[in-house]
Amino acid sequence: MILSVEVQVEEVIICDQVQIELNSGSYVADRLCIKRETDVLHFQNLIRNSLRKAIAEHISE
């Protein structure tokens, strides 16, 4: 249980630091790097396909 709490605390610290860096203006949003961001791309494709399916079903009703 203690390890779980420690991991959660570390995650909060990391996420807070990432948000600070993202808001600093040094990061410029751009296209995904296919080589290094395959998980993000896969997740986005799952969402995109799910939305397309839901819209198509809604239109056909």
| pLDDT, tens digit (0-9, with 9 covering 90-100), for 4-61 | 999 999 999 999 999 998 889 887 888 888 889 999 999 999 999 999 999 999 998 8
Residues 6+ apart with CB under 8 A from 27: 21
In degrees, rounded to 5, the angle at the alpha carbon of residue 58 between the alpha carbons of residues 53 and 61 is: 125
Q: What stretches of 1-61 adopt beta strand conformation (E)?
A: none
pTM over 0.75: no
What's the domain range around 15?
2-60
Contact 21, 14 (CB under 8 A): no
Contact 31, 39 (CB under 8 A): no
Token code pair at residue 13: 């610290």
Number of domains in the chain: 1
